[in-house]
């Protein structure tokens, strides 16, 4: 993808340098030996990484200059903390740090303010959840977490909601080789009873074409709000495998729905 000539925070993104993997490795080797002059080259040479990550947040209504600066903070932290001993590519290490920095900024500057006590309860609930998972060797229920905390299940659920970031209507729900599907695309007027049950029937038929594992992963991801990491831990596979299965299942559902739509048009 060719970058457009856009200035962010006074930086001409079109002229950002690109470092090869070999050069990055060489510079981090020098940095480990005490060469402080390579730090700036490493930062400048990876600014395009920040730019690419901004694409994920471009429809949130935030100032891109601000997000770029925040992303650069994440990049600087990654440069300062990365070591060749991590045995991974620098980009693999840096991307989560940059995304995390931007998400923290969005959360802290969100117009929807969450009380400190509720945030603390959410953190405690997470800690209890991890503790009970190790003790019970399974995912604890909301009731078990609430009992351990001495609060009601409703309070635990409400606290957990504070951990979820508000989403934009223009956030992609899923995307493959074709056009992405956004949250806005999934919102519709359900007042038409006939249309509603026909769509539900079509979706049920599409889901019936999936394997048991594919169906479980989609249900957990889009109906139960679970992360790929959580699902991977439960069914004892890697997060990457969950991601591949999820994408494959979504393609199956889409093809099935498109086929059903074609049949309906042919009959009309």
- Residues 190, 251 share a domain: yes
- What's 122's domain CATH number? 1.10.10.10
Q: What is the 3-state secondary structure (H, E, C) of 88-150?
A: CCHHHHHHHHHHHHHHHHHHHCCCCCCCHHHHHHHHHHHHHHHHHHHHHCCCCCHHHHHHHHC
H or E stretch at 12: strand 11-12
Q: What distance in Å separates the CA atoms of residue 79 and residue 3, rounded to the nearest whole number?
A: 24
Cα dihedral 165, 169, 170, 176, rounded to 10, equals: 80
The three state secondary structure string of 23-85 is HHHHHHHHHHCCCCCHHHHHHHCCHHHHHHHHHHHCCCCCCHHHHHHHHHHHHHHHHHHCCHH
Q: Specify the pLDDT at position 199.
A: 54
At residue 186, the pLDDT reads 54
pLDDT of residue 26: 92
Q: 247 in a domain, yes or no?
A: yes
pTM above 0.85, yes or no: no
- Identify the pLDDT of residue 258: 67
Q: pLDDT value at position 110?
A: 60
Whether residue 1 lies inside any domain: the answer is no
Decide if 30 is inside a domain.
yes
Last residue of a domain, one of 108, 125, 148: 108
User: Do 191 and 222 have their domain in common?
Assistant: yes
One domain for residues 69 and 151: no
Note the pLDDT of residue 189: 47
Does some domain include residue 75?
yes
pLDDT for res 42: 92
Domain's final residue, options 91, 108, 125 = 108
The CATH number of whichever domain residue 20 belongs to comes to 1.20.120.1810
Token pair belonging to 19? 């470092």
Report yes or no on 192 lying in a domain.
Answer: yes
Q: Mean pLDDT per 10-residue run, the chain (268 residues)?
A: 46 73 91 90 90 79 82 92 87 88 78 68 88 86 90 82 59 51 52 47 69 86 79 87 87 72 49
Domain span at residue 185 reads: 172-267
Largest CA distance in the chain: 74
215 part of a folded domain: yes
Domain boundary among 94, 127, 161: 161
Phi, psi of 153, rounded to the nearest 5 degrees: -60, -35
> Does a structural domain hold residue 166?
no
**Structural domains in the chain (count):** 3
Shared-domain flag, residues 81 and 98: yes
């Amino acid at each position: 993808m060719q970058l457009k000539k856009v200035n962010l925070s006074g930086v001409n993104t079109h002229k950002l340098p690109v470092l090869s993997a070999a050069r990055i490795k060489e510079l981090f080797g020098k940095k480990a030996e005490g060469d402080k002059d390579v730090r700036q080259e490493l930062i400048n040479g990876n600014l395009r990484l920040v730019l690419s990550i901004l694409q994920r947040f471009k429809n949130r209504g935030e100032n891109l200059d601000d997000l770029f600066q925040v992303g650069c903070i994440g990049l600087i932290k990654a440069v300062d903390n990365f070591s060749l001993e991590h045995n991974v590519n620098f980009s693999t290490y840096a991307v989560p740090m940059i995304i995390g920095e931007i998400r923290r900024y969005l959360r802290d500057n969100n117009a929807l303010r969450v009380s400190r006590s509720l945030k603390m309860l959410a953190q405690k609930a997470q800690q209890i959840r991890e503790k009970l998972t190790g003790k019970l060797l399974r995912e604890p229920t909301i009731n078990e977490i609430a009992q351990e905390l001495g609060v009601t299940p409703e309070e635990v659920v409400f606290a957990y909601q504070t951990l979820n970031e508000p989403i934009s209507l223009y956030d992609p729900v899923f995307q493959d080789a074709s056009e992405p599907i956004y949250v806005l695309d999934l919102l519709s007027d359900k007042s038409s009873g006939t249309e509603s049950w026909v769509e539900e029937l079509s979706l049920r038929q599409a889901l019936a074409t999936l394997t048991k594992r594919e169906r479980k992963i989609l249900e957990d991801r889009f109906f139960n709000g679970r992360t790929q990491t959580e699902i991977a831990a439960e069914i004892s596979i890697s997060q990457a495998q969950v991601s591949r299965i999820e994408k494959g299942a979504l393609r199956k559902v889409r093809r099935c729905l498109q086929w059903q739509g074609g049949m309906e048009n042919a009959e009309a």
